[in-house]
Structure 1
Amino acid sequence: MASKFVFIASTMLVILSSTAFAQKTASPPSLSPTPAPAPAPDYVNLTDLLSVAGPFHTFLDYLVSTKVIDTLQNQANNTEEGVTIFVPKDKAFADQKKPSLTNLTNDQLKQVLLFHALPHYYSLAEFTNLSKSSPISTMAGGQYTLNFTDDSGTVHISTGWSHTKVSSSVHSTDPVAVYQVDKVFIPEAIFGTDIPPTPAPAPAPDIAPVADGPTADDNKAKSPTSTLSGKSASFRISSWGIWSQLALAVSGGLALMFL
């Protein structure tokens, strides 16, 4: 009986030790680390930005009065694409005589303003590839496109009506890029394709010839006829002198005969 008890106890000790060993040797399940959340893009207040930069007061006034500023602000901070805005200086609006923006409806003015924005953030370095994909649609819609060309790092922009270039970078941090331009973007979708011709350059002033004596060309231009006419005149004068002397001699001889 005692030996049976010892056998049972020994068997239980072996089982318990095996279980403990198995628990020690078993590797814990691996857990993949949770990726850290991407940092939220910096919020950019376009009204504040355009107020202190520039002068862009005319463009900003148009954005606020038409509430297009809200559309651009939403594109900048509530989408993954960001926004690129081309902002004309106040002087560009002052110089814009034809076509005039004063007769536009509110909807047309909104389209003109949205014509100055792309629904994506573009750094200056990206315009090299962007120029190969022109024309590029703007936030005004499919008919409102811009053509870009990159000339050794200088970004040129054409709307059909106006041709300008990016003169400086006002702000360029994802998701907002703001670039200064020197002309207002005039869309053909509103103003048509009747683009006024570029004025011709003024003609060069006429220069009066110097009248201080004959030139070499004048001397070369003398014709043989003028030379012969000069010789004929001299010959006639000489002949007239000879005949005058003969007439005097004859008249003198006749007078002696009658004396």
Structure 2
Amino acid sequence: MKCSMIIVFSSTLLFLCAPLAYAQKGASPPAPTLTPSPAPAPTPPYVNLTDLLSVAGPFKTFLNYLESTKIIDTFQNQANNTDEGITIFVPKDDAFKNLKKPSLSNLTQDQLKQLILFHALPHYYSLSDFKNLSKVSPVSTFAGAGGYALNFTDTSGTVHLDSGWSKTKVSSSVHSTDPVAIYQVDRVLLPEAIFGTDIPPTPAPAPAPETAPAADSPSSAVTTGAGSAPGTSPQILLTGSMV
């Protein structure tokens, strides 16, 4: 009797659970919610300093120094592989031609490298940034601090540079798009760390030529009588008749 009741109870339980199990088996799981991934940031364009300096200028002399000293690789890496960027001051070819004393021909290879590094700052600066930069001068260059630092002043928007030996100004903007700024300067920048502090005085301007005194005009000659020409005797007017 007990065995029959157990069999009936088990059968009933299986009958009741079967539809529920079948419903759970047939129901499909909810689709997972996909979160869209953010789009990758665009890669900034590669800046080729050789191309920039070849088109502008003429900066052939400075570009030759960049390539011969391999400093071009240092500047390229700073421009394209760092968050700081770079600012370069480039003298025109005439600036090198006009440089007589001191001469760059006597520099060692290491000194020449430092000289070229001295023409750059390891950070991007727009022209408007120099107004604030002048308040914290001297500013360390790519060559270092101390004798390799530059002083900046901003006078009514004109940026002046002073290396001790060289005093010049930014004459034009060649390229100024973050992360690279290239500015043309009128003179080669000469660091005190290489050339010392015994800076020759600036030659005085040549005196203006003396002007010859103006020739005496006829009006300045002493006249001997009204209406008489120079060198003639005055006429004597006689009154009365001669006897």
Which residue of structure 2 lines up, in the alignment, with residue 137 of structure 1?
A: 140
Residue 66 of structure 1: CA displacement? 0.7
Distance 1:139 1:202 in 2: 38
Distance 1:146 1:213 in 2: 65
Q: Structure 2, unaligned stretches of length 5 or more?
A: 1-14, 20-29, 223-243
Which residue of structure 2 lines up, in the alignment, with residue 48 of structure 1?
A: 51
Distance 2:157 2:138 in 1: 19
Q: 1:100 aligns with which of 100, 103, 107?
A: 103
Distance 1:51 1:181 in 2: 16
Q: Structure 1, unaligned stretches of length 5 or more?
A: 1-8, 14-23, 215-259
Q: Percent identity?
A: 73
Amino acid at match of 2:152: F
Q: 2:130 aligns with which of 124, 127, 132?
A: 127
Q: 1:89 aligns with which of 89, 92, 96?
A: 92
Which residue of structure 2 lines up, in the alignment, with residue 222 of structure 1?
A: none
Amino acid at match of 1:189: A
Distance 2:55 2:120 in 1: 20
Alignment of 1:50-199 (within 5 A): 50-143=53-146, 144-199=148-203
**Secondary structure, counterpart of 1:58 in structure 2:** helix
Residue 210 of structure 1: CA displacement? 8.0
Alpha-carbon deviations, 1:146-202, whole Å to 9, x = none? 111111111111111111111111111111111101100000000001111111233
Count of aligned positions: 210
Alpha-carbon deviations, 1:53-74, whole Å to 9, x = none? 1000000001101101011011
- If you compute each CA radius of gyration, which structure gives the higher value, 1 or 2? 1
**Secondary structure, counterpart of 1:81 in structure 2:** coil
Amino acid at match of 1:52: V
Alpha-carbon deviations, 1:61-116, whole Å to 9, x = none? 01101101011011111111111100000000000111110000000000000000
Amino acid at match of 2:166: S
Taking structure 2 as the reference length, the TM-score comes to 0.72
Contact 1:136–1:146, Cα closer than 8 Å, also in 2: yes
127-136 vs 32-41, greater mean Cα deviation: 32-41
Q: 1:152 to 1:31 in 2, by over 3 A?
A: farther
